Amino acid sequence: MSSFDPKPDPSSTPGTSKAPDPLTAEQGEPAPDSARVGTIVWGLVVLALAVLIIVSQLGIVVLNGTYVLIGLMIGAGAALVIGGLLSARRRDNGPTTGKA
């Protein structure tokens, strides 16, 4: 048996001030944990490619690879732009102070 007694973590002792948590909002409310738009969109693109490859290999539908890629890129680009605009709109709901 060892008699080693580690020192307690100074940030965990009561009465000491901690650095502000970057994940909390200004009002003291925890910031929402949400997935990023880009992560969701690119995940959907990869999933759509996998489904299209499976469908093509089964011979259900004959697909032109160029048209499939063009369609996926147009859809992904539109989803990224729309998702970014909605995200910016949601973040911009705070009260304004009137100062520039």
Instruction: Give mean pLDDT, residues 66-89.
Output: 90
pTM for the whole thing? 0.54
- pLDDT bracket for residue 67 (50, 70, 90): very high
Confidence grade of residue 73 (pLDDT, cut at 50, 70, 90):
very high
Burial per residue of 19-47, b for 16 or more beta-carbon CB atoms within 10 angstroms, e otherwise = eeeeeeeeeeeeeeeeeebeeebeeeeee
The predicted pLDDT at position 33 comes to 64
Residue 96 has pLDDT above 90, yes or no: no
> In this prediction, what percent of the chain has a pLDDT beyond 70?
61
The predicted pLDDT at position 61 comes to 86
The DSSP code sequence of 14-37 is TTSPPPPPTTB-TTSPBPP----H
Q: CA 37 to CA 83: how far, in whole Å?
A: 6
pLDDT, mean of residues 44-59: 90
